[in-house]
Chains A and B, each alone.
Chain A
Amino acid sequence: MFNTNSNLGKRNSSDEKRISFLIWGAIFLTFFCSYELFSKSVLEHKNYLAMAKDQYIIEKQLPSSRGLIYFSDKNSYGGYYPMATNEDKYQVLVVPKNIKDKTSTAQQLAKILNIDEKELFDAINNDKPYIPPIAKKQSKETVANILGLKLDGVMIMAEKDRLYPEDNLASQIVGFLDAENVGRYGVEGYYNNNLTGKSGEIVGEKDIFGRFISEENKINPQNGDNLYLTIDRNIQYMAMQYLNKNMSEMKADRGSIIIVEAKTGKIMAMASNPDYNPNSYFDTAKDHPDYFTNPIISNEYEPGSIMKPIVMSMAIDSGKVQPDTEDIFGGSVTVQGYTIQNAMFRTFGKETMTKVLENSDNVAMVWVSQKLDFSEMRKYFEKYGFGKITDIDLDGEAAGNLLAIDDWRDISRATMAFGQGVSVTPLQMVMAYQAIANEGKLMKPYIVDKIVKDNGDVVETQPKQIEEVVSRETANKVKDMLVSVVDNGYDLQGKVAGYKVAGKTGTAQIPKSDGGYEETDTIHSFAGFLPANDPKYVVLIILNRPKKFNFASSTIAPYFSKIASWLLNYAEIKPTENQ
């Protein structure tokens, strides 16, 4: 007989334990799963979301374009021509560890890229995952040839390159874009923030090949502002041509030319020699980094006799002399123990003030300056803008050097009367003549005519009068005197058939760093404006150390005439005089 109850009791007790264990196990598992679920879906939600997004979301930077810079050019479509533009170029990259046949790869790439095969082999003969690009700024054709080879471990990456289509023309105005894509010198430097755009971004879903399927979010790139300069391409080109020819013929070391619109202060042309090609600025950086600076705004020099009409205007404006004021002048004058002589030791005797300018009489100019007291003369110099920057919108402008009032002596006043003992920049000098041409009103020089933003907004530069330096009557009197200088004085070769032009030459000594002046070398200048009856352009030409002739009346005046003639023709200004 079996005691079934006892066995059943035992089995029931064991089952209960098992069931209880299973229940607790299930409860624990449920809690564990719930916790994990909560942890993954709530606490770690962000991480997993990011990981998931990484698998199907793609983010891509949308590069912006640097703003373009334009010349004015009435002959080009739209009236403008690019001074600086952007071009698509390509970098050639290699991953050494992925290259199977390094010798063959180096050989084939070196041939296409025209680089040294051994150097290239040395660069790629390793197992590095990255080395710097082996070639930059390659053309589409070159990279097409490389891609055609289907080489392992060779990649092509697009890049933007800055192109200056006219090479050296206006290089010291435009500046350049350096390797870090930062504008240096000139307009590129001054307006770097305007020209630099803001890159955008696109976020979307991608397929297994990494291609965009759909856009989720897109921020459009903001391109840099486009700058439209006042520089006229044709005037700039011809000014440079004439300057180069003038320098070559007169065997000068350096030269500069600047042409300004008389009524507005717009810079129409600004060229110097030597210059550089901004497309290959790195070549210049090695040997002649000084070529990057624009001598017209950065170099200070003692201008010599072209300062005489400015000092004469001070004396006329303050009522001390008139164009027909006469006196008798000797060949030399002594001031504070220093003897001042005329060029070639000439003596002119009885002269009117007009004749003083025609003869470029140093002694008479000392007499004129002595009619002005120190503070009066200095005040006029300041009004003309000497001793301070003109605030032109270009990088690297110098202020020149005008003696502090406490440092003025009789001898400094006397030498300043014929343009020595005062340092100016060529830009300051041409603007002083602009004031005389513009009835005494000094304008602010500017080089950017308008800025066009990416959204189409236009910011135009308005001509701005800085100062009425002298009265209209004084300016007109000096203007007539300068016409007489060209018609009757030493500067006869500056005449232009059919037109009245106003101008004055200057032959200035070069100060030495240890005091005194150089014995033989000089700086020649010609400043003038045309046509004199209604001035349109103001021109300043400077030659450093010309060797062929001793005076600017022979070295520059003939070229001033040629440039003036071309400008009058270009501006379609009808002749006013019988030819």
Chain B
Amino acid sequence: MLITNNINQNPMRKRTISPQISFGPLTLRFITIIIVAALCILYLAQSTQGAMQNYKLRESEQIKQDLERENQRLEVDAVRLQALKNIDVNKDKKDEEKEFIETNHIEYIEE
């Protein structure tokens, strides 16, 4: 037999917390409000994030369109510079020198 130095002779067990948690209407209401609030915050966060993503997407598309437009402009500039009227280096010379230089003494490779 184990003898303890227990001065409390009361046979009832000592309790530090309530033996059970009771869910009354107030608690339920409180929890419901918290859940609804959390869902609202989540929804707002998601929708805001969605809207922001849409803005970013639109911005990216705008940048893409601008770059494509700039690319087209540069291509048109390149085309303009490659026009034969611009690359015919002899065009400003006198009439007798105006032709492209003629190719003479062409040697054809035998097949």
Chain A residues within CB distance 8 Å of chain B: 76, 81-82, 85-88, 140, 163, 165-167, 169, 211-214, 233-234, 237-238, 241, 245, 248, 569, 572, 574-575
Contacts and interface: CB of A to CB of B under 8 A. Distances in A.
A169 B91 CA distance: 14
A572 B111 CA distance: 13
A85 B58 contact: no
A234 B51 CA distance: 55
19 contacts: A76-B82, A81-B82, A87-B76, A88-B72, A88-B73, A163-B80, A165-B79, A166-B84, A169-B85, A211-B58, A213-B54, A213-B55, A241-B99, A245-B95, A245-B98, A248-B95, A569-B103, A572-B108, A575-B108
Contacts of B72: 86-88
Interface in B72-111: 72-73, 76, 79-80, 82-85, 88, 95, 98-100, 103, 106, 108
A88 B69 contact: yes
Given A213-B55, A213-B58, A574-B108, A169 B84 contact: yes
| Main secondary structure on A side of the interface with B | mixed
Contact of B83 (A166, A213, A569): A166
Given A81-B82, A88-B72, 10 more contacts: A85-B76, A165-B79, A165-B83, A167-B83, A167-B85, A169-B85, A213-B51, A233-B84, A237-B88, A245-B95
A212 B99 contact: no
A575 B106 CA distance: 10
A163 B84 contact: no
Interface in B36-83: 51, 54-55, 58, 69, 72-73, 76, 79-80, 82-83
Contacts, number: 54
B53 to A, nearest CB: 9
A81 B79 contact: yes
A212 B58 contact: yes
Given A166-B84, A241-B99, A82 B79 contact: yes
| Main secondary structure on B side of the interface with A | helix
Interface residues on B, range: 20 to 34
Contact of B54 (A88, A163, A169, A214): A214
Contacts of B85: 166-167, 169
A233 B82 CA distance: 12
10 tightest A-B CB contacts, nearest first: A574-B108, A165-B83, A237-B84, A214-B54, A165-B79, A213-B54, A87-B76, A212-B58, A166-B83, A165-B80
Given A88-B69, A213-B54, A163 B106 contact: no
Contact of B76 (A163, A211, A233, A245): A163
Contacts of B108: 572, 574-575
A140 B73 contact: yes
Nearest to B61: A212
Contacts of A241: 98-99
B58 to A, nearest CB: 5
A166 B88 CA distance: 12
A167 B79 CA distance: 12
Contacts of B106: 569
A87 B73 CA distance: 7
A234 B84 CA distance: 8
A22 to B, nearest CB: 34
Contacts of A212: 54, 58
Nearest to A568: B106
Contacts of A166: 83-85
Contacts of B103: 569
Contacts of A575: 108
Contacts of B98: 241, 245
Contacts of A234: 84
Nearest to A249: B95
Contacts of A214: 54
A233 B21 CA distance: 92
Nearest to A569: B103
Residue of A165, A238, A241 most packed against chain B (CB within 10 A): A165
